[in-house]
Structure 1
């Protein structure tokens, strides 16, 4: 029986690309001829996804597989700039295929309108931050919902989250354990979507617990060593350039995303500052590129793909009848590499 991997090998693309094409993900940037080649190969091999095979074998009364939608709060540009949320989406797609669930809708919040609510789904997985009132504009009262990387303040929906406070504390504690006293922070702005109109999606800036934890742990003497922009590689580069203009440059930095840290590394290299000899770095997310940076980045790894998979499991369980909303906290881990002067794992 043909699998996604078989199709990927013949089409000479990744399994993820195949799954997104077969799942009719219109946000996927792929050449039309590549998309058609994948569909042709799938047809030639007689590919049937798990949902279709199960529906063919199941009695009609069972109604087949649940219909799942994904709502992404990030724009395509934001996903490209920071792979954190894209990795969550990969976990959702992988788990859906393995469970035989078909993703029938994919919505980016930037393109939805209040006059076009989501219908015809049994449940939604929301990646990112949108408050309860904004979510009701999209889904109304009916659909089951799981938030990923956010929580429902009304406690009506399931959620999968990270303990950002504990994760940030690990990073700052490690830098302090190395004897670092002047510690800087480079991070982005956390935003929550709160209202959707026919003109735009409105946001409000909210607390970033990584920054809050840093300020609590690093002490008042480091309050001036905080640099905030957007979660992009370019902003990491520019904010580090700004930090290097200070009279007393910090001897270490906690950087709130790996992408920003890679940009910061370039700024340090251009300024002739060695890492970790002159400045130690610990970043956040644990994306694959962090391991291949120069030097490899110490980072707080968040298991983003597992967050996506867990969201699917929660939603299917809720659709099956569970009424009590649950919150699952996925643990993080501190991986020590060369950017802070050590090669061990904490």
Structure 2
């Protein structure tokens, strides 16, 4: 595991700067370029690549056989990636895999003239239906990472967020928590579905808590159409604390790690200690999670591997077109210091 010192050395900044950047310290005055360097260095140093002899042989063959361009479509642009490093992490994995496989990733938009010379497209994020249609019209060889729209003639890569939410909640239940709040958001404009809530994490929370007869509407805070971010996590937590007054939950599940930072920051600002008074758990286990104060318990989604599997799937589609695939990667609970058993007084 990379340390803050490792990140500071490679990014050419101080240890204090790294710590404050990774904890989203609003009082820190550094350039966006410095922040980007810190986050990308953290991702790179914590990226554990899996390789087999078969993959190595495929790499050798690919380097000789393919000198092709791949269009890279990003739902989150560079200046937006700081709000949710999930997509930056996927991009890092895709870029590394493309380089290893002998492809050139070219950042593109749907009106880009460069698309006439690409072999396919790798698309990262929750694109809406019209954008998906335009991308496929430009090139039918496309893989979408993170989209939940129904399959037509493209492949998708996702993490198992139902499993992630269940792992998080069952960890809290095992610790003895019953008053478990949820703080999150959904971006309905970029989601497909017919239920009131469209993301697996939100629906799994509601279903599982109802199954155990523990669901309490007062502890359910979801913005129906907003971006998951540190700022939103802090805002919703502020609103929730005002409504809860003395009826505090003993634990909070945040929709992702960025939201969890906002939750912890607001609890700390209100002098509520984590995890002594309220445990906090996130989802994704992005590079900064281990450096938070306290280090964040979360559920790991293998984001870099999502980018890598996306590139492998795209290469397969380019070489041997077949039926569309929906590939779902597993998740894994990572226990750190932001969760503990509830106090007996609760």
How far 1:282 moved relative to its partner? 0.9
1:292-303 map, 5 Å: 292-303=291-302
SS in 1 for 2:163: helix
SS in 2 for 1:170: helix
Answer whether contact 1:192 1:206 (CA < 8 A) is retained: no
Report the counterpart of residue 289 of structure 1 in structure 2: 288
Answer whether contact 1:180 1:252 (CA < 8 A) is retained: yes
Report the counterpart of residue 242 of structure 1 in structure 2: 239
Answer whether contact 1:129 1:192 (CA < 8 A) is retained: no
Which of 71, 74, 82 aligns to 2:73? It is 71
What TM-score, normalized by structure 1, do the two folds share? 0.72
How far 1:175 moved relative to its partner? 1.1
Report the counterpart of residue 218 of structure 1 in structure 2: 209
SS in 2 for 1:140: helix
Unaligned runs of 5+ in 1: 1-11, 15-28, 32-53, 195-204
Decide whether aligned partners of structure 1 residues 142 and 84 sit closer, same or farther in structure 2, where only a CA change above 3 A counts. Answer: closer
Which of 163, 176, 179 aligns to 2:176? It is 179
Unaligned runs of 5+ in 2: 1-9, 13-31, 35-59, 342-346
Answer whether contact 1:134 1:193 (CA < 8 A) is retained: no
How far 1:269 moved relative to its partner? 1.3
Query: Higher RCO, 1 or 2 (CA under 8 Å, sep at least 6)?
Result: 2
Which of 138, 143, 146 aligns to 2:140? It is 143
Report the counterpart of residue 309 of structure 2 in structure 1: 310
Decide whether aligned partners of structure 1 residues 287 and 272 sit closer, same or farther in structure 2, where only a CA change above 3 A counts. Answer: same
Task: Report the aligned-residue RMSD.
Answer: 2.9
SS in 1 for 2:206: helix
How far 1:154 moved relative to its partner? 3.5
1:86-105 map, 5 Å: 86-103=88-105, 105=106
1:42-53 map, 5 Å: none
SS in 2 for 1:313: helix
Report the counterpart of residue 108 of structure 2 in structure 1: 107
Give per-residue Cα distances to partners, 1:120-179, cap 9 Å, x unaligned.
211001111225543222341643010111245133211111111111111111111222
Answer whether contact 2:68 2:102 (CA < 8 A) is retained: no
C-alpha distance in structure 2 between counterparts of 1:306 and 1:331, whole Å: 11
Report the counterpart of residue 170 of structure 1 in structure 2: 167
Over alpha carbons, which structure has the higher Rg? 1
Query: How many equivalent residue pairs?
Result: 276
C-alpha distance in structure 2 between counterparts of 1:70 and 1:177, whole Å: 42
C-alpha distance in structure 2 between counterparts of 1:324 and 1:66, whole Å: 23
SS in 1 for 2:338: helix
Q: Which moved more, 1:83-92 or 1:318-327?
A: 318-327
Answer whether contact 2:70 2:104 (CA < 8 A) is retained: yes
Give per-residue Cα distances to partners, 1:79-111, cap 9 Å, x unaligned.
1111000000000100011111111x3136xxx
SS in 2 for 1:250: coil
How far 1:190 moved relative to its partner? 2.9
What TM-score, normalized by structure 2, do the two folds share? 0.72
C-alpha distance in structure 2 between counterparts of 1:77 and 1:211, whole Å: 27
C-alpha distance in structure 1 between counterparts of 2:327 and 2:239, whole Å: 38
